[in-house]
Structures are given as C-alpha cells and as structure tokens.
Structure 1
Amino acid sequence: MTTSQPLVPSVVVLHGALGSGAQMQPVVEALRAQRRYAEVLGVELPGHGHTPLAAQTAFDMRTFALALQAAIHDAGLVRPVVFGYSMGGYVALLLEHLAPGTIGGIVTLGTMLHWTPTIAAAAASRLDPHVISAKLPAYAAALAARHSGAGGWELVLTQTAAMLRELGEEPLLTNALLGSVHCPVHLLVGGRDDSVSLDDAVSAAAHLPRARASLLPDVPHPIEKVDVQLVCNEVSDLASQLISGD
C-alpha cells in the first residue's frame, strides 16, 4: 500500500488470546466517546467469541492477520491505528510485516514478542480445560459464555495451546522481520504484568524502525483490570504522532 495517512485516523481494537470482541467493547466505546477518530472498529478474530473458524482454516497467527486485513479492507479504513491487546498486538505487527502500509500505527499492551519452545510450553501448559474446570470453575464458566459461538471454550483453549507451541518452535516475528514494520509502534507493558517484561519490549523496540517501549506503572495483564482511559491516552498519543507526521 502507498496510500497517504488520513488527517483524521480511524482506530481498530483487537483482543488477545482467549478473548473476544465483546471483551474489548469498553475500550471501543471509550475511544468513540472521544469523538476524535473517523471510525472506531472492534474486530473479533475467527475461532473466538461468536466468530467461528471456517472449515479447513488453520487456527494460527497468519489466519488472524489476514482476518484483520480483511476487516480493515471491508470497513474501508485507510492506514488505521491498531490497538492490539496481548496476542492482538502480535497479530497487528505480523499483518504490517506481511502487507506493509496496511496499518498507520500500532499500540500494543502486554504483547509477548519473544517466543521460544520453553516459553511457549509454559504458556500452553496453563490452558488445560480439565484443570481450569476443576480449579477455576468461575473462569471456565466465563470462557464458556464468551466462546459459545466459536465451537466451545475447550476447543479454543486446545487450539490456542497448539498455536503457542508452534509459535515457540517457529516464531513468525523474529528480530530481523520486525525491521520490516515501518509504521510507528508503541509497546506498552504493565508494571504488574507477569506475562511479559519491559526488557523484552525494549529489545523488540530496538529492532523496529519507529518504536518505543514504555512501562505503565501498577497496570496488570488482564484487560478488564486496565483503566480504559489509560488506553485511550496511549492511542491518542500515537494518533497525534501520525497527524503531525513525526
């Protein structure tokens, strides 16, 4: 894509692993309330929430990146800002690598970019439906309600675990490939996030041409526990950067 940046940007909001469009609706509504964007679009990835995965389609990051690209195209958005929470940030960065110029800028929160077999195995081990049902029944019930239209929460967990293991064996965003993402990127890490470290974000930012990594004090990983106004401020900061041409 070579389309120039719109003077009034749009924003796309993308959920994380085990998430859904509905889960991110408070962020969408808060951004819309600012009345400073051409459009604010929440995207639900296939295989999550109430969006089933098409037959013979892989449950993986490439599928999700292409789904994000299709959503941006179908909505007629030009180089939007993407706020990607956790896995959503990885998806946005991967799309911009695969289709440069699709996205105007990316804000990530709690996104793990450094994957190894050991890290992936540890993350996947926490996604056992039987263990969650036995030890965290309230969480299991919430996941069941959240993913009722995507084949069931157990399937979502099983597929996510398999995807993470594959990502550990063959990362799709290496340090070298991050260099192909030329849009502005803000990598945000919560001070109470035990899933990703600021050091990892700083390391990734060093390989991105136009990026910075920032610590958000006292912010945990779960998006439900993050102040939506804080997210709005970070998105606004990047949008202002795009408008000013910095």
Structure 2
Amino acid sequence: MQHLLLLHGALGSKDQFQPLVHLLEDTYQVHTFNLSGHGGQPLPGSAFTIQSFSEHVARYIQDMNIKTVNVFGYSLGGYIAMYLAQQMPDTITKVVTLATKFHWDEKTASKEVKLLDSKTIQEKVPAFAEQLQQRHAPVNWTSLLDKTKELLINLGTNNTLQLEDYTGINTPCLVLLGDRDKMVTLEETLAVYKQLPNAQLGVLPATPHAFEQVNLSLLAFMIRKFIK
C-alpha cells in the first residue's frame, strides 16, 4: 500500500484532515502531521521558514522509515510539498496541491499580513479566535499568528521558490485550485503549472479557499485518479 502524507496550511492542523483520511485510508497508508507550532506542537525559537518546515517533515518521513511517499498539501502545505519534491526527488513520488499561493512579493505579503491581526480577529470573528485557541493549545495562538506574519513578510521579500525553480521539479504534480478562491489567483497557479515538466491542472467547482468548504469526495476522487 502506498504512503500518502497530508500537509495542512498556515494556522491549520492535522485534525482538519480527519474526514479526508476516512475517504482515503482504504487506498493508502495515510499520514497526518502537525507543522512546528501548530496543533499543539511547540513553537520553535527560530523563525518559521519553508526550509525549516520542510526539514521537520523530512525528519518525520525518516523516523517513520518511509522510503517513498505521495504528498497532498493544502495551501502552505502545498508550497512545502513542492519544496520537498525539489529537495527530495527520490523520496517524493507524486505531489497534489490545493489552494497553494505560489506568488509572493511585498505587496501580496502586506495584504495577507493585514488579515492576521489578532485584535481584529478577536473583535470581528471571535469564533475563529476561539477555534485557533483550541486548535493550537497549549501554544498561544497570537504568538503563532506573529510567527506566521513574519513568514509571509519574509516570503514577500524573498520568495523561497522562484517561478524558474519549478522547471527543475520533475516529480509528477497535480495542481488544484478552487474556482472561488479569493486568496490564490488562477494566473499564479497557471504560471507554476506551465513551468512544471510533469504536471496536471484541475479546478474544483464552487470551491473557496477554506478547506472546510471543499467537496472532499471530489478531492479524494481526484487524488486517487492522479496517484493510482
């Protein structure tokens, strides 16, 4: 049975994937994983980076004695999956990304960072603040927000994967985007898809950015069809 590792997005956790795990566990040996500082994992003393997240994932793969693995990454998890495919081509068999923001510059980062103001979240969407608190306890969710904002600012200054870097990722990739995603553009998704030597592109209908609003039966079908 093939291994399938699911990587969550920024401010997410592996628990969000449980409904998807149930749909895929008969086909794959499914692994879920909390990135540093997420889902109760301790916050590192150093800054969040794509490289450090990827090293954390690579250690998990090694510790589990996994020789080859398929990776599904949602949002930031998809970016990490692409970086892993670049760095570990013999280990990463296939990559599926959904709702991954590939294009970062200072203007983009500034826009996204404004959405991560803890006071605004507490005042305007207190239910989300409570969700973040419960999801990441005992980590202080406001500290996690600060680390995430720093990551995005740094990506805006120096995007870890430049567009030309994708030409060197030979791993088969399925790049997915929801047609109602207001964070990730079709243009940036197409730009990366066109650079990848061995890629497929898919658009999920009636699908916004939030993972909780994704049609998981359709997503599971597309993952299965691509990985085979």
* TM-score, length basis structure 1: 0.89
Deviations 1:3-51 (A, max 9, x none): xxxxx4211011001101112222222211xx222x1100110111111
Given that residues 167 and 197 in structure 2 are in contact (C-alpha distance below 8 angstroms), is that contact kept between their aligned partners in structure 1?
Answer: yes
In 2, Cα distance between the equivalents of 1:102 and 1:23? 25
Shift of the alpha carbon at 1:78? 2.6
Instruction: State the SS of the aligned residue for 1:104.
Output: strand
Deviation per CA, 1:213-242: give whole Å up to 9, x if none: 2211111111111122122112102212xx
Distance 2:226 2:46 in 1: 34
AA partner of residue 237 (structure 1): K
Partner of 2:27: 36
CA-to-aligned-CA distance 1:91-123 (integer Å, 9 cap, x gap): 111112122222101101100001111011101
Aligned-partner Cα distance in 2 for 1:179–1:41: 28
Letter of the aligned partner of 2:104 in structure 1? W
State the Cα distance separating 1:177 from its structure 2 match.
1.2
Q: Would the aligned equivalents of 1:105 and 1:185 in 2 still touch at CA under 8 Å? A: yes
* Aligned counterparts of 1:198 and 1:101: Cα–Cα separation in 2: 30
| Residue 79 of structure 1, CA deviation | 2.1
For 1:53, which of 20, 38, 43 is the aligned residue?
A: 43
- CA distance in 2: counterparts of 1:47 and 1:95, whole angstroms: 19
How far off is 1:204 after superposition?
A: 0.4
Correspondence 1:117-196 to 2 at 5 A: 117-149=106-138, 151-196=139-184
C-alpha deviation, 1:155, in angstroms: 0.8
Mark the runs of 5 or more structure 1 residues left unpaired by the alignment: 1-7, 241-246
* 3-state SS, counterpart of residue 101 of structure 2: coil
Does the residue aligned with 1:72 lie in a helix, a strand or coil? helix
For each residue in 1:103-148, what CA deviation from the matched residue of structure 2 results, as whole angstroms up to 9, or x when unmatched?
1011011000011110111011100001100111111011111111
Tell me, in whole angstroms, the C-alpha distance in 1 between the residues paired with 2:4 and 2:69: 5
- In structure 2, relative to structure 1, the CA distance for the partners of 1:58 and 1:162 (3 Å cut) is closer
Structure 1 residue ranges, 4+ long, deviating more than 3 angstroms after superposition: none
- Work out whether 1:82 is the aligned partner of 2:71: yes
The separation in 2 between residues aligned to 1:219 and 1:59, in whole angstroms, is 28
Matches of 2:115 and 2:157 in 1, distance apart?
Answer: 18
**What secondary structure is seen at the aligned counterpart in 1 of 2:73?**
strand
Is the contact made by 1:107 and 1:188 (CA closer than 8 Å) also made in structure 2?
A: yes
Secondary structure, aligned partner of 1:179: helix
Is this contact kept in 1: 2:102–2:189, CA < 8 A? Answer: yes
Q: Count residues in correspondence.
A: 228
Deviation digits for residues 54-98 of structure 1 (CA, Å, limit 9, x no counterpart) = 4x4432211111111111222222321111000000011111212
Q: Which amino acid aligns with 2:162?
A: T
**Gap runs ≥5 in structure 2:** none
Structure-2 separation of matches of 1:95 and 1:112: 16
1:72 and 2:65 equivalent?
A: no
* SS of the residue 2:205 aligns to: strand
2:7 pairs with 1:14: yes
Amino acid at match of 1:81: N
Distance in 2 separating the partners of 1:13 and 1:130: 31
For normalisation by structure 2, the TM-score amounts to: 0.96
- The residue type equivalent to 1:209 in the other structure is P
Match of 1:236 in 2: 224
Q: Give distance in 2, aligned partners of 1:75 and 1:28.
A: 18
